[in-house]
Amino acid sequence: MGTGCTSMNYKRMVDISSKNPQSTNVASSIITRKKSNPNSQEEFRKSRTLSLTKKRSLAKEKDMSNYVEASAAEIEPYATKTSEDKDMILTALNSHFIFTSLTEEDKEQVAESMQLYLFEAGAIVFEQDMTAKSYYVLRTGLLEVYVNGKSVNKIKPGEGFGELALLHDNPRSATVKCAAPSGLWGVERQTFRKVIEEMNTQIYEQNREFIEKVTLLQPLNPRQKDSLAASLVIYKYYSGQKIITEGETGQQLFIIKEGTVSVQRGTQEIARLHTGGYFGEMALLNNAPRSATCVAVDGPVKCLVLSRETLQKNLSNQLQDIIEKNTIMEAINKSETLSLLNKHQKELICKDIDHRNYKGGDVVIPQNTLCKLKLYIIISGRLQYARTSHTFADKGTCVGDQYITKANPEDVKYEDDMISASDMKVGELTKYKFEVSIGGKYEDVVKENAATNILRKVFLFKTLDSSQMKELFSIINTEKFSDGEIILREKSQSQHVFIVKRGKVDICKGDTVIRTVTKHDYFGERGILFESAASATCRANGSVTLWVINNNDFINILNENMRKQLLHRINMWDERSELEDLAIVRPIGKGMFSKVYLVHPRDSKTLYALKVVERKIIEKFAIQEQLLLEKHIISLIDHPFVVKLIRTYKDYKRIYFLLEYVKGMQLNDILMRIGLLSNSDTQFYIGSLILIIQYLHERDIIYRDLKPENIMIGDNGFIKLIDFGTAKIVPSRTYTLVGTPQYMAPEVIVGKGYNKNADLWSLGVCMYECLCGRIPFGNEEPDCYKVYEEILEKELEWPDDIDPINEAAKALIEQLLSRYAESRAGGSIDNLKKHEWFTGYDWDNLINEAIIPPYTPDLGDSSEDIENNGGHVYMWDAPLDNESQGTEESLPDVSDADLEAYKKSIPQNWDENF
């Protein structure tokens, strides 16, 4: 957690061949963008070839034949393929029928897997009637083909042969002999099949995951999504290339997987589409000419393409309904009033709205109709004024929404007939049916939504659906307490669950505050599960407003997920093992001032992390206030993505923090292992960090050292933020230079004061690092001052040795790395979550841990460590392993005079709450 600079190399190498035995990519969703760096590519080729060679040796052990094809060759397993070699191989592959069903990615992977065989003149590549093993492409030299001993053909460079060997092991129909020294690229059948299997499995899983994020396809059932994932074809378009042209007949639907597409009508750009966007649907449905031209812009664009035939086969002609529902939902979300409804209410509007078809010129809304009577949603076509033909409303737009949502709207009327410009479809809903759909008067419903939205921030309620949230709203009461007032007394029977709406509540054992409950946290839950007395006294810390739920009412909404969450939390808070009862399993980490050990109580196999700080370190560097603040802050936090404090200990040698154990890996180690992250995987990690930052900042907590080393990926794949040693409660501004230089915001460096927006700069550095494989400022720079100089003066640059970054992602990184701190959030964290890069992202599923994580570490069973440890209880008054060694090496030297001054500045009873 320190500020020291060390030499860092963030250009990560990618080794897709070596699966670490301690990590498993269960979602197969991490995509490494191909680097053009020749050294990286050479390492990639070497590792890939080694992997394939090992797989081939396993296959040969199963082969009953002793025949070895191309036995006369010298194999060059690490031979580098030039661009000409690759083009030659791909041309040869494209000329044979067995490769026609392969995607371009498949063919490139097959080409990459081929190794070089070198033959002398007169050597035999394979003999007639012998078992077929491999497919070859002649690189250099000349080959002669013999059938029954007679020369029948010659093979020249660039030609492929032996392709049937990739289908089966039937005997060769001819002998191939070298007429001159020759080099051949070759691939065996087992390798070929494995490559194709791995590639297509990966593509399918990526496509299946991507389909889940495409709003157009959300209404499909799992079976339909599975079927589509297997049918998608990927096409790549370069900047400026036309994907579809206005006036053409449409036979395909395009869904953007990566990149940006410009939609143009004539010479005018009318829209820009990004990842998850789609186009071509209307021409596909109606077999009509394309209504616009779509052009790839800002770098390569990858599209998933579905043909009319595939869609009809998989969706049974339901695409029309899907698109119409999506258009209605798009219009609702664009409306200032209707967008405030919740997801369930919006879906009910989609279900209840009446669909009306109109011919060109038909009157849709007659003149003098009251605006408050009905809601109109333009599903297709365009609505225009009868007199002027000017557009009144286009596709995906609401009409009348601002009137039907008012309690007492004015009698405003339409001043002209509104007619259809061409054939069109309109969704219509009367005010009465609208209120039935949303469940009441608009203003009452929106107020209830606002309250339930706040309640959804209480993690205990995160698994409740809309109807259950409505029930919760009906059973909840509000009570206020003044400073120092006892809300719940220790050993008394609690009849309620309390949730903090505003203020703080201290949880006390005797006179000691063991933790503090803040906004959206809860207490009193023990009485629901155990009907037992309260284990602590709960006292208002200042003025407090609480939501209060009667236990009997709470039981009615209690589901299994909530029960598990309550039990897990109670079990952690109930941990009463004393320091002398803890057994050390092994060291698991080290900070600037501390060491961390994996421990467990001797009568339990529950694992914890024990952070240990020596008193002589505390005295030497006067960090007692920092430790007190760390204890206070982490005791305020109860977030699923943040490590929890269980309790603290002290003795005459050390201070101890007993923490929730996160069995997993640092995000930094995962990035080093797997290389660049895909767009969607980066969204997962950055989105998770945004949820944490929002939670901390709502409590005036600034973290100040956000970086991959402080982010653990648990064995469930979700993140846990650790190490709050640099965190601080900052209602306004602070001035301390603290953190890791490469992740520091400019305003932290210049010393003129900074606020919580400094964390957003660090978030931008992390996002850049995930997508680019390096940090934007101070990469590989050991000198702190040069790092600071780059942060303050260097313009943001994008690496040219990887594929271009998604434009929406670039825009978000540029926003987060703005030197004007107030612009980083775009006004608020909620606005940040609405950024274009997060379009369609399901934040509820993320916090509910209902998303498949990109990477799940597999670190084995920790119970084996406990068994091997033998339950040994450490004598805590003895020296720990290598105590003080290694820790102080990274710390600045302190003179004897300064040390004495530090000691005098430390109050004797500073640790009374540990």
Of the CA atoms within 13 Å of residue 606, those in its CB half-sphere come to 15
Is 674 buried (19+), middle (13-18) or exposed (0-12) by CB count in 10 A? buried
Instruction: For residues 681 and 782, state if they share a domain.
Output: yes
In 401-532, where do the E strands start and end?
A: 418-420, 424-430, 477-481, 486-488, 496-509, 512-517, 522-523
Residue 571 lies in a domain: no
Residues whose CB falls within 8 Å of the CB of residue 100, separated by 6 or more in sequence, listed in order: 94
Q: Give the span between the Cα atoms of 852 and 379, in whole angstroms.
A: 33
Residue 651 lies in a domain: no
| 3-state helix, strand and coil shares in percent for the chain, rounded to the nearest 5 | 35, 25, 40
From the list 234, 438, 462, 275, the residue with the least C-alpha distance to 837 is 275
Exposure b/e, 245-278, CB count within 10 A at least 16 = b:
ebeeebebbbbbbbbbbbbbeeeeeeeebbbbbb
Contact 712, 662 (CB under 8 A): yes
Q: Give the span between the Cα atoms of 13 and 671, in whole angstroms.
A: 10
Contact 721, 709 (CB under 8 A): no
For 133, the token pair is: 């093993």
From the list 837, 860, 865, the residue with the least C-alpha distance to 213 is 837
Q: Give the span between the Cα atoms of 814 and 763, in whole angstroms.
A: 11
For 405, the token pair is: 């949502």
Number of separate domains in the chain: 5
Exposure b/e, 730-755, CB count within 10 A at least 16 = b:
beeebeeebbbbbbbbbbbbeeeebb
**Helix, strand, or coil here: 300?**
strand
In order, the DSSP letters of 600-628 are EETT----EEEEEEEHHHHHHHT-HHHHH
pLDDT value of position 315:
65
Instruction: For residues 381 and 348, state if they share a domain.
Output: yes
Q: Give the span between the Cα atoms of 466 and 464, in whole angstroms.
A: 7
Q: Give the span between the Cα atoms of 161 and 136, in whole angstroms.
A: 6
Sole residue written with tokens 């009868």: 386
Residue 591 lies in a domain: no
- Can you give the residue range of the structural domain that contains 108? 38-196
Phi and psi of 497, rounded to 5°? -105, 135
Residue 512 β-bridge partners: 509
Contact 656, 611 (CB under 8 A): yes
Q: Give the span between the Cα atoms of 722 and 710, in whole angstroms.
A: 5
CA dihedral for 684, 689, 691, 694, sign (positive or negative): negative
Instruction: For residues 236 and 308, state if they share a domain.
Output: yes
Residue 694 lies in a domain: yes
Tell me the one-letter amino acid at 488.
L
pLDDT value of position 355:
93
Phi and psi of 696, rounded to 5°? -65, -45
Of the CA atoms within 13 Å of residue 820, those in its CB half-sphere come to 5
Of the CA atoms within 13 Å of residue 665, those in its CB half-sphere come to 20
CA distances from 710 to 424, 689, 702, 732, 901 (A): 55, 11, 14, 25, 32
Domain boundary residue among 263, 293, 317? 317
Instruction: For residues 832 and 800, state if they share a domain.
Output: yes
Instruction: For residues 722 and 798, state if they share a domain.
Output: yes
Instruction: For residues 722 and 818, state if they share a domain.
Output: yes
Sole residue written with tokens 């096409």: 235
pLDDT value of position 894:
44
pLDDT in tens, 232-282: 788 889 999 999 998 888 788 898 988 999 999 888 898 899 888 888 877
Instruction: For residues 89 and 190, state if they share a domain.
Output: yes
Exposure b/e, 771-803, CB count within 10 A at least 16 = b:
bbbbbbbbbebeebeebbebbeeeeeeebeebb
Contact 380, 326 (CB under 8 A): no
**Helix, strand, or coil here: 500?**
strand
Residue 853 lies in a domain: yes
Instruction: For residues 279 and 145, state if they share a domain.
Output: no
Residue 422 lies in a domain: yes
Tell me the one-letter amino acid at 901.
A
Instruction: For residues 189 and 264, state if they share a domain.
Output: no
Tell me the one-letter amino acid at 282.
M
Q: Give the span between the Cα atoms of 763 and 813, in whole angstroms.
A: 9
Contact 676, 768 (CB under 8 A): no
Residue 601 lies in a domain: no
Q: Give the span between the Cα atoms of 202 and 191, in whole angstroms.
A: 16
Point out the catalytic residue in the list 401, 521, 705, 759.
Answer: 705
pLDDT value of position 52:
28
Residue 564 lies in a domain: no
Instruction: For residues 309 and 333, state if they share a domain.
Output: no
| Residue 188 belongs to domain with CATH number | 2.60.120.10
pLDDT value of position 738:
84
705 noted as active-site residue: yes
Domain boundary residue among 516, 540, 558? 558
Q: Give the span between the Cα atoms of 218 and 237, in whole angstroms.
A: 26
pLDDT value of position 50:
33
Write out residues in the chain with pLDDT < 50, as ranges: 1-4, 6-65, 870-871, 884-895, 899
pLDDT in tens, 27-83: 223 333 333 343 443 443 333 233 323 323 223 333 334 567 888 888 987 889 999
For 690, the token pair is: 């945004």
Instruction: For residues 253 and 342, state if they share a domain.
Output: no
Domain boundary residue among 317, 340, 363? 317
Instruction: For residues 689 and 716, state if they share a domain.
Output: yes
CA dihedral for 442, 443, 447, 453, sign (positive or negative): positive
pLDDT value of position 25:
30
Q: Rounded mean pLDDT of the chain?
A: 80
Q: Give the span between the Cα atoms of 428 and 393, in whole angstroms.
A: 14
pLDDT value of position 903:
55
